Amino acid sequence: IAKEVAKLLEMKAQLGEDEGKHKFVLKTPKGTRDYGPKQMAIRERVFNAIISCFKRHGAEVIDTPVFELKETLTGKYGEDSKLIYDLKDQGGELLSLRYDLTVPFARYLAMNKITNIKRYHIAKVYRRDNPAMTRGRYREFYQCDFDIAGQFDPMIPDAECLKIVHEILSDLQLGDFVIKVNDRRILDGMFAVCGVPDSKFRTICSSVDKLDKVPWEEVRSEMVGEKGLSPEAADRIGEYVQLHGGLELIERLLQDPKLSQNKLAKEGLGDMKLLFEYLTLFGITGKISFDLSLARGLDYYTGVIFEAVLLHQENEHVEEPLSVGSVAGGGRYDGLVGMFDPKGRKVPCVGVSIGIERIFSILEQRLEASEEKIRTTETQVLVASAQKKLLEERLKLISELWDAGIKAEMLYKKNPKLLNQLQYCEDTGIPLVAIVGEQELKDGVVKLRIVATREEVNVRRESLVEEIRIRTSQC
Amino acid sequence: IAKEVAKLLEMKAQLGEDEGKHKFVLKTPKGTRDYGPKQMAIRERVFNAIISCFKRHGAEVIDTPVFELKETLTGKYGEDSKLIYDLKDQGGELLSLRYDLTVPFARYLAMNKITNIKRYHIAKVYRRDNPAMTRGRYREFYQCDFDIAGQFDPMIPDAECLKIVHEILSDLQLGDFVIKVNDRRILDGMFAVCGVPDSKFRTICSSVDKLDKVPWEEVRSEMVGEKGLSPEAADRIGEYVQLHGGLELIERLLQDPKLSQNKLAKEGLGDMKLLFEYLTLFGITGKISFDLSLARGLDYYTGVIFEAVLLHQENEHVEEPLSVGSVAGGGRYDGLVGMFDPKGRKVPCVGVSIGIERIFSILEQRLEASEEKIRTTETQVLVASAQKKLLEERLKLISELWDAGIKAEMLYKKNPKLLNQLQYCEDTGIPLVAIVGEQELKDGVVKLRIVATREEVNVRRESLVEEIRIRTSQC
């Protein structure tokens, strides 16, 4: 403790010094970034695609606080818990920043005794992970979650979640993708028939989860070396986890002499078959792969799990290639709400989370490469003047336009040069200029200039709003 | 320190116990709330009004991380600094949750060497204040900020900020309001001529800031008792701070024998006069009050300051009346960006922050009182079946509709009763039901039911999408 205190005091002293010298480190915290206007324009496009899809599927929307009581998050994330950001104890409650949107959702359901809801939630979550920002891995990042809670007939909501991922990834045109699907019950049944002791299910599951990043040999040696699994059990797992396919693989495994004897695996495989039938009706099995190596890191999954990965890297000419990675994931978590209910009442849930930082990275790089110009404002008209001493007239006109709902700007100068005003339109993409001058004022007109064509027309002042609307309408 | 450690250990022990027993406190942290679907519908309406206005004025949008380096926030908030949420030191950088959006904006400008921008930013900020949630005072709350940065001719951007507040509060129809305006230079000049020592300017300013909540007598005794101001100086301040009015008050104070001798006050009054001239051109002086008691708590203001308050409480029949309070505020802060620049280069800024929690409270209470039903989804059609064994057909049809961009839902049951399906539409406001049945399938049609009129029409399957679009279009 003395050491801790000394460290703190040292830091305080450092801080104090910095203050005195007015020497600041000008940066955002590690693993975080600002979004400038251009990035925001891309972000809005992605959000719009995702929100449209969630609304198309009839979801309501909720929001929860950025932090939760620390104990709300405790015991939900397995080995990942060490990545949770805690707040300092400043008296009062112990708080942590949310690690995902699923646990706050389950807390919300239990707290409000909601047993039936379909909702989406788009918000930032926080993980003290090792950032790799060029590849879209941040410590502060957005999740876009869609979840269906309620007691329903099997696999219908689960199939809808996969349909949603398929719709969003198709809509965003990120290139080819595959959605890997598995089931925690199949994994657990597989662990059982391979001879993994019950107590090691979760930790072996975490090892399997690494298979998308490291080769099997490394995962195997973690299982045997670090986690004390017998080499024979590991090898048996190794045979299963290389399997992936479609309906025919499910049928084969349903006949597998060992797996078919295991109750959990049989249940999982039966549901997986049903899921594939529904996905066939949705016409999306072409991009779905039943993959026994898919494990998902989080503790709370109880049934179907899935993860979407982009298959080809987009900008092959970019020097540092984008790593192809997971852009969406989710699954069924039937026990999580019950962990919050005083009487343990369960609310079955299934949901999907779209991770948009990687998608941003791809779209950002693509945009830079394309040199497409994106507007960062929606301004329809610049109110300008050709002569001096017309500030008051510009203020009057712009005020009329704002009050009529027109998006209008002006330069904040008393006597701006016309050339500077026109240049501002070129730079920011404003399509029209409304020019006031002595003569126009006398005549009761405004000169409307179309920036693209340099055409100029005199418009009667009372028709100006309508004229601007017509000339800037998209339809 | 020993005491602190003991407290922590006790808390840890408690936490440990709770974990063991699976006894969770089911709540959100103090001063925070969840937003359910209905609250979110209100929130979206308010956001849309505010964002429309910001875009109408040509603003770009940015976003910054929820936390900043602790030192970024140090020395910016005066006496309010104690309300900042710090994160726990988990190794690495010391972080704090943002206290407002202004300091992160200034950090963003300095870091990216931006000297000219008009942007908005809507995000949550965090203050360890005493919450009064029924009155819309939270520890986690939204701010909607619009700021103009750059070297411009005096008072033009400042006037636009006030115009924006006027537009938004008018648009939201919250009842009558007034926007109080003052200037830090007038305040400082006033303090000087009243005999307040330079070193006490900021702390006396904080006392004056309390005048909207506590009577003058109390503020006076804080000045004299706690802050060691002479009773004579306090009494002189007391005379000034009861003044409020318009252009005529500005003219009078420009002639005030004491104030007119003070350089700062004279500058401030001159600019205030110019501001009122511009506001007259905007036609909004009717709701603007030049008020010498307005001080604003934050340290960083250097010129014009303002605050909008609602004048009449809305629901006069509500048992616990809403306290009438500030819903927007802002001002000029010409020195803040320079505090972050290694060479102290200044970027003049003026901005406004709309605090929407109070606005929410009012609109929420109004909605409850009105018993208006608001839809929380946009679903156009429910895909239903009248007979059993048609799940596959429903899945096929709904998939067609989704792919055509129609917002569609279905019940997640294999064989739902028609009555339950119709009831779901009544409950959630879905206007149409697309009913598949054996006969319809044979005939290549879908039965479309209009929920409001109970009318039913057979629509050819290939025309269904178009028919749904026509029947649910708003235009």
Beta strands in A41-156 (DSSP E): 60-61, 67-69, 95-97, 117-126, 140-149
Domain co-membership, A274 together with A418: no
Task: Note the pLDDT of residue B324.
Answer: 61
**pLDDT digits 0-9 by tens, B296-336:** 877 899 999 999 999 865 455 544 444 467 899 999 999 99
Domain co-membership, A346 together with A390: no
Distance from CA of B199 to the nearest CA of A (A): 17
User: What whole-number distance in Å separates Cα of residue B285 and Cα of residue B289?
Assistant: 8
Number of domains in chain A: 2
Rounded (5°) CA angle A217-A223-A229: 130
Domain co-membership, B339 together with B461: no
Q: Name the stretches of chain A with pLDDT < 50.
A: 17-21, 314, 318-323, 475
Nearest Cα to Cα of residue A360 among A133, A63, A162? A133
With beta carbons under 8 A apart, name residues in chain A contacting B339. 22, 24
Say how many Å lie between the first and final Cα of chain A, rounded.
Answer: 68
User: CB-CB: which of B167, B344, B412 is closest to A157?
Assistant: B412
**pLDDT digits 0-9 by tens, B303-314:** 999 999 998 654
Distance of CA B3 to the CA centre of its chain: 39
Residue A329 is encoded by which pair of tokens?
A: 């994931």
User: Sign (positive/negative) of CA torsion A26, A139, A207, A223?
Assistant: positive
Task: Note the pLDDT of residue A395.
Answer: 98
B342 — contact with chain A (CB < 8 Å)? Answer: yes
Crossing angle for the helix pair A37-56 and A356-370, nearest 10 degrees?
Answer: 130
Q: How many Cβ pairs closer than 8 A exist between chain A and B? A: 263
Grade residue B20 by pLDDT with cuts at 50, 70 and 90. very low
Taking only Cα atoms into account, the Rg of chain B, rounded to an integer number of angstroms, comes to: 29
**pLDDT digits 0-9 by tens, B113-149:** 999 999 999 999 999 988 887 777 899 999 999 999 9
CB A449 within 8 A of CB A436: no
DSSP single-letter state for residue A226: I
Q: Which amino acid would we find at residue B138? A: Y
Domain co-membership, A348 together with A391: no
Domain co-membership, B390 together with B325: no
Pairing between β-strand B456-460 and β-strand B244-245 as defined by DSSP bridges: unpaired
Q: Which of A230-234, B14-18, B261-265 has the lowest mean pLDDT?
A: B14-18
CB B131 within 8 A of CB B374: no
User: What whole-number distance in Å separates Cα of residue A281 and Cα of residue B399?
Assistant: 8
Residue A454 among known ligand-binding residues: no
Distance of CA B110 to the CA centre of its chain: 25
B2 in any annotated domain: no
Q: Residue A286's domain is classified under what CATH number? A: 3.30.930.10
Nearest Cα to Cα of residue B302 among B261, B342, B258, B347? B347
Residue A166 is encoded by which pair of tokens?
A: 């398929």
**Segment (H or E) for A70:** helix A70-73
A57 in any annotated domain: yes
**pLDDT digits 0-9 by tens, A76-99:** 888 789 999 999 999 999 999 999
Q: What is the 3-state secondary structure (H, E, C) of chain B?
A: CHHHHHHHHHHHHHHHHHHHHCCCCCCCCCCCCCECHHHHHHHHHHHHHHHHHHHHCCCEECECCCEEEHHHHCCCCHHHHHHCCEECCCCCCCEEECCCCHHHHHHHHHHCCCCCEEEEEEEEEECCCCCEHHHCECCEEEEEEEEEECCCCCCHHHHHHHHHHHHHHHHCCCCCEEEEEEEHHHHHHHHHHHCCCHHHHHHHHHHHHHHHCCCHHHHHHHHHHHCCCCHHHHHHHHHHCCCEECHHHHHHHHCCCCHHHCHHHHHHHHHHHHHHHHHHHCCCHHHEEEECCCCCCCCCCCCEEEEEEECCCCCCCCCCCCCCCEEEEEEECCCHHHHHCCCCCCCCEEEEEEEHHHHHHHHHHHHHHHCCCCCCCCCCEEEEECCCCCHHHHHHHHHHHHHCCCCEECCCCCCCCHHHHHHHHHHHCCCEEEEECHHHHHHCEEEEEECCCCCEEEEEHHHHHHHHHHHHCCC
B1 in any annotated domain: no
With beta carbons under 8 A apart, name residues in chain B contacting A475. none
Domain co-membership, B238 together with B362: yes
Residues 381-420 of A with CB under 8 A from B: 391-392, 395-396, 399, 402-403, 405-409, 412-414
Domain co-membership, A352 together with A420: no
Distance of CA B208 to the CA centre of its chain: 24
pLDDT exceeds cutoff 80 at B16: no
Domain co-membership, B263 together with B363: yes
Say how many Å lie between the first and final Cα of chain B, rounded.
Answer: 67
Q: Give me the mean pLDDT over the B169-186 stretch.
A: 95
Interface test with A, best of B399, B425, B433, B473 (most A CBs within 10 A): B399
Residues 278-317 of B with CB under 8 A from A: 278, 281-283
Residues 9-48 of B with CB under 8 A from A: 11, 15, 18-19, 22-30, 32-37, 40, 43-44
Q: What ipTM does the predicted assembly reach?
A: 0.90
Rounded to 5 degrees, φ, ψ at A23 are -105, 105
User: What whole-number distance in Å separates Cα of residue B77 and Cα of residue B80?
Assistant: 5
B24 in any annotated domain: no
Q: Residue B415's domain is classified under what CATH number? A: 3.40.50.800
Query: CA neighbours within 13 Å on the CB side: how many for B442?
Result: 3
Exposed, middle or buried, A134 (CB in 10 Å: 0-12/13-18/19+)? exposed
Nearest Cα to Cα of residue B132 among B316, B310, B322, B314? B322
Interface test with A, best of B3, B10, B63 (most A CBs within 10 A): B63
A274 in any annotated domain: yes
Search chain B and give the residue with CA nearest A120.
B37
Task: Note the pLDDT of residue A24.
Answer: 65
User: What whole-number distance in Å separates Cα of residue B311 and Cα of residue B364?
Assistant: 18
User: CB-CB: which of B58, B86, B391 is closest to A90?
Assistant: B86
**pLDDT digits 0-9 by tens, B352-363:** 999 999 899 889
Residue B147 among known ligand-binding residues: yes
Return the residue matching tokens 């616990």. Answer: B320
A237 in any annotated domain: yes
User: CB-CB: which of A30, A399, A403 is closest to B93?
Assistant: A30
Q: Give me the mean pLDDT over the B1-15 stretch.
A: 70
Contact call for A163 and B56, based on CB within 8 A: no
Contact call for B413 and A153, based on CB within 8 A: yes
**pLDDT digits 0-9 by tens, B51-64:** 999 999 999 999 99
A18 in any annotated domain: no
Domain co-membership, B177 together with B253: yes
B436 — contact with chain A (CB < 8 Å)? Answer: no
Rounded to 5 degrees, φ, ψ at A354 are -95, 125
Residue A275 among known ligand-binding residues: no
CB A130 within 8 A of CB B91: no
Distance from CA of A235 to the nearest CA of B (A): 36
B13 in any annotated domain: no
Query: Which range marks the domain in which residue B67 is found?
Result: 37-314+321-369
Contact call for B156 and A11, based on CB within 8 A: no
Domain co-membership, A340 together with A401: no
Pairing between β-strand A381-385 and β-strand A304-310 as defined by DSSP bridges: unpaired
Residue B452 is encoded by which pair of tokens?
A: 């409001």
Q: How many CB atoms lie within 10 A of CB A170?
A: 15
Domain co-membership, B304 together with B422: no
Domain co-membership, B400 together with B286: no
What are the Cα distances from residue B52, in Å, to A407, B28, B40, B171? Answer: 9, 31, 18, 10
Contact call for B22 and A61, based on CB within 8 A: no
Q: What secondary structure does DSSP assign to A281-329, as a single string?
A: HHT-GGGEEEETT---S-TT--SEEEEEEE-S-S-TTSSSPPPP-EEEE
Residue B236 among known ligand-binding residues: no
